[in-house]
Homo-oligomer: A and B are copies of this chain.
Amino acid sequence: MRGMPVYRILEKRLRGETNDQEEIRALIHGFVDGKVLPEQMATWLTAVTLTGLSEEETLWLTEAMVASGKTLDLSSIPGIKVDKHSSGGVGDKVSLITVPIAAAAGVPVPKLTGRALGHTGGTADKLESIPGFRVELTEDELIDQVRKIGCAFAVASKDLAPADKLIYSLRDRTATVASLPLIVSSILSKKLAGGADAFVFDVKFGDGAFMNSLEDARRLACSLVAVSQKAGKQAVALLTSMDEPLGRAVGNALEVAEAIEVLKGEGPSDVREVSLAIAAQMIRLGLSIPNEEARRKAQELLTNGSALEKFQRLIEAQGGNARVLEEMDLLPQAPERVEVQATASGVVGSIATRRLGLLASRLGAGRGTGSDWHPGAGIRLLKKVGDPVTAGETLGILFSPRPVSPQEVNETRACFDIQQAEARKTDLIAGLVA
């Protein structure tokens, strides 16, 4: 095997040298074409996991992944197109609120969305709980709709950065998922292929996030912004807390209902706060206006009902029943509904967010759980961190298409840590990387 190009590429990497753009492109395209073997790609990914990649190499990797498929051509949409990405969390319905706000401000938002993964939900699954809503748009449908109403949600086509899926599957088999440059290239390859001009990244940290520590989240945020900018895009990242679920609803239809509440000026304040911060950044980049002005605009469009109206037009444009905005019981409801009571008194000190996300997934909110899947499944939290609790009070309600086991009730209860001391809340928005 010595003498083959891939051998030399690996040999350089293992000697601690960097690879040039040509080599990285040959490696990625060779892997997609089946000329580079899985074990050879795994060797490169392992070396990267252990020794890192420079920003330049990360860009080359990302660009090679983009070049493995097609790129959306959004040039027929006037203005600066802004896409938004969340690193994934529990109860994260922020896209449902920010996209209508930004579009109401006149920012074109072709939002590419994903499905639920592990303990986290996916915006596509949430939107599909609205009766009739179609997220599988063609490229033309996506472009037409953004031209007409200013925004659209579409599941990323399999033709965008197909190398990402192949590489991700290999990383999943080889325990090389937790590598910063590989995470960055995975996220960015799909975003760059999506064709937008500017990106707002919501990088979550805490127990319910993929990055548990704020430090790791900041590293990811810095790298996402730096590599995006190297690729000629505008980019900004917010660091937001996932130390407890965002809002009170976890599960597809439950979260849509909560998002509608926020768009009506009601709903939990944490969801509103994060949504306004992200929408403001989308407006700032899309309209090229100062931060404070963008922030005021976002606030105003949420308060005066413009964002809600935009969401209504979006639902209609994508085939959904917009009457859900007024009659929320048109949203699917899970037949089983079980309250979980506290057995101790005190204050909610913390919530095991990741475990709660997995539990919601098992109750029927997640993907790949087979026959239990139900758009109405999930958890509604009645208590959040810092709330006082008396024994016997309801902590949360479980929704499922099938009977909930006592075991699951106990597991839910165990996710709430009831303590005597005062709870220490982490900052909801811990930082911004621009």
Q: Which residues of A contact B (CB under 8 A)?
A: 1-2, 7, 10-11, 14, 37-43, 45-47, 49-51, 170, 172-176
Contact = CB atoms under 8 A, between A and B. Distances in A.
Q: Which 3 A-B pairs have the closest CB atoms?
A: A39-B42, A10-B175, A46-B46
B42 A43 contact: yes
A10 B172 CA distance: 11
A166 to B, nearest CB: 12
B39 A175 contact: no
With most chain B CB atoms within 10 A of its CB, the pick from A37, A172, A175 is: A175
Contacts of A45: 43
A184 B42 CA distance: 23
Contact of A14 (B14, B41, B49): B49
A46 B173 contact: no
Given A1-B175, A7-B175, 14 more contacts: A1-B172, A1-B173, A10-B174, A10-B175, A14-B46, A14-B49, A37-B38, A37-B173, A38-B38, A39-B41, A40-B174, A43-B43, A43-B174, A43-B175
A17 to B, nearest CB: 12
A40 B42 contact: yes
Contacts of A47: 46, 50
A356 B51 CA distance: 37
Nearest to A37: B173
A177 to B, nearest CB: 8
12 contacts: A1-B173, A7-B175, A11-B175, A14-B46, A14-B49, A37-B173, A38-B38, A39-B42, A40-B42, A43-B43, A43-B174, A43-B175
A174 B50 contact: no
A2 B175 CA distance: 8
Given A46-B46, A50-B14, A39 B1 contact: no
A167 to B, nearest CB: 11
A175 B37 CA distance: 13
A126 to B, nearest CB: 25
A117 to B, nearest CB: 12
Contacts of A37: 38, 173
A173 B40 contact: yes
A32 B287 CA distance: 60
Nearest to A48: B46
With most chain B CB atoms within 10 A of its CB, the pick from A14, A45, A172 is: A14
Contacts of A38: 37-39, 42
With most chain B CB atoms within 10 A of its CB, the pick from A1, A11, A43 is: A43
A391 B2 CA distance: 37
Contact of A42 (B2, B46, B50, B175): B46
Nearest to A175: B10
A370 to B, nearest CB: 17
A143 to B, nearest CB: 37
A412 to B, nearest CB: 22
Contacts of A176: 14, 43
A169 to B, nearest CB: 9
A32 to B, nearest CB: 15
A331 B2 CA distance: 34
Contacts of A49: 14
A50 B49 CA distance: 11
A170 B11 CA distance: 14
A176 B6 CA distance: 13
Nearest to A170: B39
Given A39-B42, A46-B46, A14 B175 contact: yes
Nearest to A49: B14
Nearest to A178: B14
A175 B49 CA distance: 17
Contacts of A46: 14, 42-43, 46-47, 50
A162 B176 CA distance: 28
A83 B51 CA distance: 40
Contacts of A43: 42-43, 45-46, 174-176
A50 B38 CA distance: 19
A38 B47 CA distance: 16
